[in-house]
Amino acid sequence: MAVTISQFTISTTDIFGFSPPALAGFNDVLGTSSINQSEKYLVAFGGNGVRGLYWFANQSLIYFEVYGLHENVGWDYITINGVNYNRSSGTFSRFTVSDNSSFNYPTGGGEEGGPFTRWTWTASSFPFASYAAGSTQAMYVRHSGSMPASGPLSLNTIHTVAGGSSGTSVGLNDSDVRALNWYNTVAGSPIASGGKNEMKEYYYPCNVGENQGYTRRRLPSTTSNSLSYKLASADADIDNASTNPAATIAKCGMTVEFDGTNTRLRYHLLSTGNYIGSGATITLTNQYWNAEASGTGSPQTYSAVTNDAITFEGAQVIQAALLTSQHNESLATGQQNPASTAAIGQSVYNTSGFGETLMSSNSITSFVTTAANTAYGRSFQISTTQGRFNSGDKVSTVDIRFRWALRLLGYSPADRTYIEKDTTLNFMISLRARTYKRI
Amino acid sequence: MTDYTVEDELLKFSHEFSNGQAGFFHLAVDPNLTPEQQIESFVAQEQAFIAQVEEWQSQ
């Protein structure tokens, strides 16, 4: 029994206007006028955006591309115009493209960019129904599994899916049964005879995105540093201080932690300010944005240091990787006073700032095995400190991009086993620390 | 020939195309080809794609 994971409709005309078509279908990063707004947000599986589904006549190939770096799992076949193209027979490749993404990335064209995964199949003739102007067609990403996704699941059901006869003798440790376990079919790490083996690991695997409580704004691109898409900001500001010392610190971090029930991807913000004397105004502003949409309007101001960015309900993070980078860094210039070599503007990056276990490898592909009830992540801090003999308006700013890769497994027996092994998520947090001192 | 490694049953290598686009690539290993042949084939195919698309976009 096939299960449709996602269905989406694409244009099937030529991207460059040729007839008969030379390059037909949907591509988020080619051409400048072929992409309609809705196509930009097609979802393939697990909440991952479609980068392209197109046919290239010159090479007689169908290309199916999905944003993010994925394992060769997550779906079984894609149906195009009544023909099934099996994932297992497609050519699988992944692309960690540099900086601003793909070749021919058009100005004002594709919005996402960044790393992606591709499958290709041979197709010598036009695979869609029509290339007449304005033609569109529905595409289906499907799974051929026949296990239930939730509810009752009997050993007899597993046995029959494995090819056994209903009502005959079967054990959970039988090799044909174990072959259908999540660790065999999804994780690619088969369990040995007598190994840990639970019924929950046999449910039809759902995709992470199906049960993902999205709450905060994500950066849509792995390459964009646009602050229009920032998740949060911490701003520490001392205004109109006297000639005495004054200091501000803005600090942020992100962590991932499995709390025994859910996996929480969290961000932490802390802004502090201090001065000696009187008459100054300290303003500490921590903000976050809820909506996915871009823009800087309507941020929420809050005081809690720790907040959830995303909660993966009923899922356990078993491995995590984190790539961070600093952008638009501008540290206040000068030294704290003539007798000191300490800079007014300072930064402390890649630290454990909120009690987390530091993920020391700054890599999107170097995974850390995560234990329950332990937060893993990385923190960043900037500061602006003016001494007794300093004066003027001094500002330090930096934007920190967090890029996560998470491997998740369904945890509760009532939940399904998650099929997406590597889900990638991008966030941007900005920091600002300012001290203004009068002479 | 581009340096490569085989990890997790994937060919991993980096390459810079003639249009300046560089990236790291991960390909499923084709048992019918040597790694060098597969990389060469992939790079040639991708380069042809880039060249063709650039030509169309310039028209």
The domain limits of chain A are 3-143, 155-202, 212-437
Distance CA A65, CA A39 (A): 13
Higher pLDDT pick, A212 / A244: A244
Judged by CB atoms closer than 8 Å, whether chains meet at A103 and B48 is answered as: no
| Whether A205 contacts A181, CB under 8 Å | no
Chain B residues whose CB is inside 8 A of the A104 CB are: 19, 50, 53-54, 57
In this prediction, does ipTM exceed 0.85?
yes
Give the confidence band of A352 by pLDDT, cuts at 50, 70, 90. very high
CA distance A52 to A25: 8
Average pLDDT over residues A260-267: 90
In the β-sheet with A3-11, what is the strand arrangement from edge to edge?
Answer: A3-11, A136-143, A77-80, A83-86
Across A338-346, average pLDDT? 84
pLDDT tens by residue, A401-429: 999 888 777 655 455 555 555 567 889 99
Which is more confident, B42 or A313? Answer: B42
Query: Does A23 reach chain B within 8 Å, measured CB to CB?
Result: yes
User: What is the identity of the amino acid at B9?
Assistant: E
pLDDT attached to residue A221 = 66
| Structure tokens that stand for A354 in this block | 């909120």
DSSP A253-293: EEEEEE-SS-EEEEEEEEEEEEESSSS-EEEEEEEE---SS
B29 CB within 8 Å of a chain A CB: no
* Residue ranges of domains in chain B: 4-58
Chain A 312-371, CB below 8 Å of chain B: which residues? none
CA A310 to chain CA mean position, Å: 10
Residue A130 scores a pLDDT above 90: yes
Q: Which of A144, A176, A152, A179 is nearest to A163 (CA)?
A: A176
Q: Answer whether residue A121 shows pLDDT above 90.
A: yes
A349-to-A151, A241, A249, A271, A368 alpha-carbon distances in Å: 47, 28, 13, 15, 19
pLDDT for res A57? 94
Q: Is it the case that residue A436 has pLDDT exceeding 80?
A: yes
Per-residue model confidence (pLDDT) at position A145: 67
Q: What average pLDDT is seen over chain A? A: 83
Question: In this structure, what are the phi and psi dihedrals at residue A183, rounded to the nearest 5 degrees?
Answer: -65, -30
What percent of chain B lies above the pLDDT cut of 90?
19
pTM assigned to the model: 0.56
d(CA A236, CA A278): 18
Task: Note whether A234 and A269 are within 8 A (CB).
Answer: yes
Mutate to test the interface with B, among A28, A89, A97, A103 (most CBs of B within 10 A): A103
Distance CA A190, CA A158 (A): 17
pLDDT at B58 over 70: yes
